[in-house]
Amino acid sequence: MRLSEKSLSELPASVARPAYNRSRVVGSIVHLGIGAFHRAHQAMFTDAVLASGDLGWGIVGAGIISADMKNALAPQDFLYTLAEMGADGEKVRVIGSIIGVFGGVEDAAALLAKMSQASTRIVSITVTEKGYYLDLATGKLQLQAPAIAADLASPATPKTILGLIVEALKARRGAGIPPFTVLSCDNLPNNGKLAKAAVLAFARQVDAELATWIEANVRFPCTMVDRITPATTDADRAHVTAAIGMDDAWPVVTEEFVQWVIEDEFTMGRPDWTIAGAVFSDEIERWENMKLRCLNGSHSTLAYLGQLTGRETVAEAMQLPLITDILDPLWLEIRAVLEAPKGVDTAAYVDSLKQRYRNPALKHRTAQIASDGSQKLPQRLLAPLRERIAKGLPSPMIATAVAAWMHYAVKIAHTPDGVLNDPLAGEILAQAKRSTEAAAIVGNLLAIQAIFDTDLPANADFRAALLEKFVALAKNPAVATAAQISV
Ligand code: CS2
């Protein structure tokens, strides 16, 4: 049996399910990038809104690159299982807030049409850092990126989120329909402002007047999103099948913890996501920085060190004193320059992160977090580093984290058929391989401006600290760096 509207009544009594009439739900939210994270987070909050009786806020999702999610969910009426793994066991529920899914390039025209309709009031996004095509060190739009260049060449048939948003806003403006709100839910500092910058930079290339109209009329609220949600594995599928007594092609396994802080700036209204615990705040930058640096910054550190010490998952990496001994002082470095949101104790916040990382029920792969380092390091680790440099403070632990990323890249560069999952992989691997001598490797990788800009390579103290940590990791017998490196 397969999960579907029809089979809902066959679920075990312990599995919560939508009790609202899904056929009456209005698809007023279009979500771009319908992966595991969105389905563990925003779709769950929205499910609670629908359950409260407000059926005005259903989600129509879109896979930007592929139709995989559409193909998995369409046969089950877009229902899916969410398994929340807590310290005292797991909670399994079926989520009903997604009422349709577009799939990749083949559905791009239909997606654009849906985004252009007056019924669409919010366009939300989780496409990861690289989906914005911004050079994160400088904030510039990557006009040369092939997907952006293609959309600029034929703006009426867009495939990227920027092309889609700009073209849909153009159509709405032409038809006298108010603009939707653009709600970025990605791990970027000031994600709304970055989304706005990317959309405006794209729009300026297409139609300067339209860009001015977007700037004046569209809202891009910032958000802080948090829920650790590993990519779904076949073991997760088997686990969920056993729990619900039927097949679900693409369930989501996540942690118990969830947090969403949102700036309350919407052009056409919004659901009351506070029903499920979301918080509206005007302190988003502080919330986002705390989460990006304390959580994501340590996550990346743990992922590179985990990869170098043969630890497949975060929970396994947290068993290694070598790693935890680096995380504790790293958090001190990060917290020393952090402006926390009012009333938040960052020491307690960091303690709660340790608990979350140790959750053995989550098989969060260090390889997954280690991907896209070029897109993640600037805001997670280099931003606090720059603030420390400005205050004359040394940052040996942030240097260790960056050195671990460098070793990870060098190791892949020297592995036959090694694959670095990163939009800048070509440049990173080329630099990582140019020399086998430690100081030269560090200098070559540090010269990648899209990651480190020009200030960090020019900083003699940071360079020296980085080299020292790079050499220390290479000499540490517990850390498996590339054999080729000479120190
Ligand atoms: C992780 C995040 O993959 C990564 O880079 O650091 O996905 C992290 O799990 C989430 O931001 C937690 O909210």
Q: Using one digit for the tens of pLDDT, what is the confidence trace for 350-360?
A: 999 999 999 99
Over range 10-29, report the average pLDDT.
98
Cα–Cα distances in Å, from 251 out to 82, 89, 181, 298, 342?
A: 6, 18, 28, 27, 36
Token reading at 467: 């080299």
pTM of the model: 0.96
**Helix or strand or coil: residue 93?**
strand
Residue to substitute in 352, 369, 372, 380 for testing ligand 1 pocket (most ligand atoms within 8 angstroms of CB): 369
For 207, phi then psi, to 5°, come to -165, 105
pLDDT above 80 for 137: no
Cα–Cα distances in Å, from 167 out to 20, 126, 135, 176, 325?
A: 34, 19, 22, 14, 50
Q: Considering the chain, what is the average pLDDT of its residues?
A: 97
The pLDDT-based confidence of 169 (bands split at 50, 70, 90) is very high
Over range 21-34, report the average pLDDT.
98
Nearest alpha-carbon partner for 186 in 240, 125, 237: 125
The pLDDT-based confidence of 301 (bands split at 50, 70, 90) is very high
**Helix or strand or coil: residue 294?**
helix
80 CA to middle of ligand 1, Å? 21
Over range 90-117, report the average pLDDT.
97
d(Cα 190, Cα 300) in Å, to the nearest integer?
20
Over range 340-347, report the average pLDDT.
97
Residue to substitute in 37, 226, 291, 368 for testing ligand 1 pocket (most ligand atoms within 8 angstroms of CB): 37
Are 385 and 377 spatial neighbours (Cβ–Cβ below 8 Å)?
Answer: no
d(Cα 143, Cα 133) in Å, to the nearest integer?
8
Name the residue with the closest Cα to ligand 1, atom 1. Answer: 369
Over range 380-395, report the average pLDDT.
98
| pLDDT tens sequence across 182-222 | 999 999 999 999 999 999 999 999 999 999 999 999 999 99
227 CA to middle of ligand 1, Å? 8
DSSP 479: S
Cα–Cα distances in Å, from 431 out to 232, 367, 448, 449, 452?
A: 33, 21, 8, 12, 14
d(Cα 159, Cα 144) in Å, to the nearest integer?
15
Q: Is the C-alpha dihedral spanning 143, 148, 152, 153 positive or negative?
A: positive
Over range 252-280, report the average pLDDT.
98
Predicted local confidence at residue 314, as pLDDT: 98
Predicted local confidence at residue 135, as pLDDT: 86
d(Cα 290, Cα 339) in Å, to the nearest integer?
8
Over range 344-348, report the average pLDDT.
98
Name the residue with the closest Cα to ligand 1, atom 3. Answer: 369
In this structure, the number of other CB atoms found within 10 A of the CB of residue 453 comes to: 17
The angle formed by the CA atoms of residues 80, 81 and 83, to the nearest 5 degrees, is 155
Residues within a 6 A CB radius of ligand 1? 187, 226-228, 295-296, 299, 368-369, 376
Predicted local confidence at residue 176, as pLDDT: 98
Q: Is the C-alpha dihedral spanning 351, 353, 354, 355 positive or negative?
A: positive
Over range 238-260, report the average pLDDT.
98
In the chain, the percentage of residues whose pLDDT exceeds 70 is 100
237 CA to middle of ligand 1, Å? 21
The pLDDT-based confidence of 104 (bands split at 50, 70, 90) is confident
Over range 85-97, report the average pLDDT.
94
Predicted local confidence at residue 144, as pLDDT: 93
Predicted local confidence at residue 218, as pLDDT: 98
Predicted local confidence at residue 139, as pLDDT: 82
Atom of ligand 1 nearest to the CA of 227: 13
Over range 281-292, report the average pLDDT.
97
Predicted local confidence at residue 221, as pLDDT: 98
CA of residue 399 relative to chain centroid, distance: 23
Predicted local confidence at residue 88, as pLDDT: 84
| pLDDT tens sequence across 32-46 | 999 999 999 999 999
Token reading at 386: 């720059």
Strands 80-86, 89-95: parallel, antiparallel or unpaired by DSSP?
antiparallel
Token reading at 314: 């975060």
Predicted local confidence at residue 65, as pLDDT: 87
